[in-house]
Amino acid sequence: MATLGRTALDIGYTFEKARTIGTTRERVTTLADSERNYTNGTGTGKFNVVHSSRRSLTAGSATDDIDLTLLEDPSGTPCAFSIIRFIYIKNREASGGTDLRVGGAGTNAWIAPWKDAPSPTGIFTTVEAGGEWFLSSPIDGMRVITGERLLRIVHATGSGAALDYDLIVCGE
């Protein structure tokens, strides 16, 4: 099975400012090249393992410890990541106050995204309702090793309502 992928980011905005004589409007898009194509295989710019899932957290199970070596590909075949090329998490909640926290915590925490922090096992990134977190490392990749393989997702607000999120991981 061949695996191909593409990531792209296009940011645009409209700026309006009322003036005494009229209104100024401008439309600007990014000039930076933020597109990356991936081919099948291992090494720079390649991946051969994909995981995609919609997951749910409830008050009773407000923490999801995801073992990056025990996931499944879309066909249900087990896949064990050793290198992550990119990871994407989307908080599917529409209303404010239902935040996710993404990080590594506890024994075997995956700390690659926060490796340069003084104490990476206690660092979390907050993904607000409707927000997205995307991280890529197309050249070297982010390593997943035996002692650093658990990604922790936490229902940060602790409310009784379920919180759904999407997880996509691509790598080797």
**For residues 110-125, average pLDDT:** 76
Share of the chain above pLDDT 70, in %: 75
- pLDDT classification of 13: cutoffs 50, 70, 90: low
What pLDDT does residue 162 have? 82
What pLDDT does residue 104 have? 81
What pLDDT does residue 78 have? 93
**For residues 81-89, average pLDDT:** 95
Q: Is the pLDDT of residue 141 over 80?
A: yes
Share of the chain above pLDDT 90, in %: 42
Enumerate domains of the chain plus CATH numbers.
Answer: 49-171 (2.60.120)
Q: Is the pLDDT of residue 17 over 60?
A: no
- pTM, whole model, 2 decimals? 0.82
Q: What's the CA gap between 87 and 163, in Å, rounded?
A: 19
**For residues 111-139, average pLDDT:** 83
Could you please report the per-residue DSSP string of the chain?
----EEEE---EEEEEEE-SS-EEEEEEE--S--EEEEEESSSTTEE-EEEEEEEEE-STT-EEEEETTSEE-TTS-EE--SEEEEEEEEE---STT--EEEE--STTB--GGGTTSSSGGG-EEEE-TT-EEEEE-TTT-EE-BTTB-EEEEEETT--SS-EEEEEEEEE-
**For residues 10-37, average pLDDT:** 61
What pLDDT does residue 7 have? 74
What pLDDT does residue 115 have? 76
